[in-house]
Amino acid sequence: MVPEETWFELSDVTLRAVLAVTLATVAASLFLASSGMHELSVTPVALMGVVVVLGYALVTLFQHFEVEGLPLIE
């Protein structure tokens, strides 16, 4: 049986990683835009969108496992 704290910790780490990547991609996008490379500033924003969606999916999955348990083990 996997302890509930494990799923909470995984959710916490995931949210921290999403925040770090989001801040880094916003900084990269602003840097590229201010450097005059407007067309290249779209790539970090797209990456940020993908990371946020994947992070949200992982946190939702971890919360489901925290409440319901892991079906293969329990």
- What pLDDT does residue 3 have? 85
For residue 45, CA distances in Å to 5, 8, 53, 70 come to 33, 28, 12, 34
- What pLDDT does residue 14 have? 96
pLDDT exceeds 60 at position 74? no
Number of domains in the chain: 1
Whether 73 is covered by a domain: the verdict is no
pLDDT exceeds 90 at position 4? no
pLDDT, tens only, 11-48: 999 999 999 999 999 999 999 999 999 888 888 889 99
Whether 24 is covered by a domain: the verdict is yes
Question: What is this structure's pTM?
Answer: 0.82
pLDDT, tens only, 45-73: 899 999 999 999 999 999 998 888 887 76
Q: Which domain holds residue 38?
A: 4-68
3-state SS of the chain is: CCCHHHHHHHHHHHHHHHHHHHHHHHHHHHHHHHCCCHHHHHHHHHHHHHHHHHHHHHHHHHHHHHHHCCCCCC
